[in-house]
Amino acid sequence: MADPFLQPEEATAAEAIAAIGDELSMFDDWMERYQFIIELGRKLPPFPEEWANDSHRVPGCQSRVWMEAVVRDGLLYFAGASDAAIVSGLVALLLRVYSGRSAEEIGATDPVFLKDLGLLEALSTNRGNGIAAMARKVRDIAALHRAG
């Protein structure tokens, strides 16, 4: 089975945010950006079907979203999936920033980048709340690992 946990493309969360900003700025309108985000979701590692259950579900999302985390060599790796194409893409964006990072780096990386990149304004209120809920879950998991 393929590794469901996303491996980071960039060395740091800040570099990932900058890269995403650069990629989004290449598109002239939001329809093109949506297509790009949906494409990112299609490239997520396959999420194990047995994890698509209530214990992995992220509360506060209109669509169904599931996440799992694992610690490897002191870094947190995340797997995620959604039943909605655009939401899968948003999961992919979040995991690109947060997966494969230390709990400290995750805690220090404010999800305000979602607003800075214009993603929250471009989404419906429910989707915006959902991605905020996903970011909270990632940061809550990191906080537990910092405390633990």
Which are the catalytic amino acids? 61
The tokens 């929250």 sit on which residue? 120
Is residue 92 within 8 Å of 16, Cβ to Cβ?
Answer: no
Nearest to 27 by CA among 40, 11, 13, 14: 40
Task: Work out the burial of residue 85: count CB atoms within 10 Å of its CB; fewer than 13 is exposed, 13-18 middle, 19 or more buried.
Answer: middle
* DSSP alpha helix (H) spans, 62-124: 85-98, 103-108, 113-116, 119-122
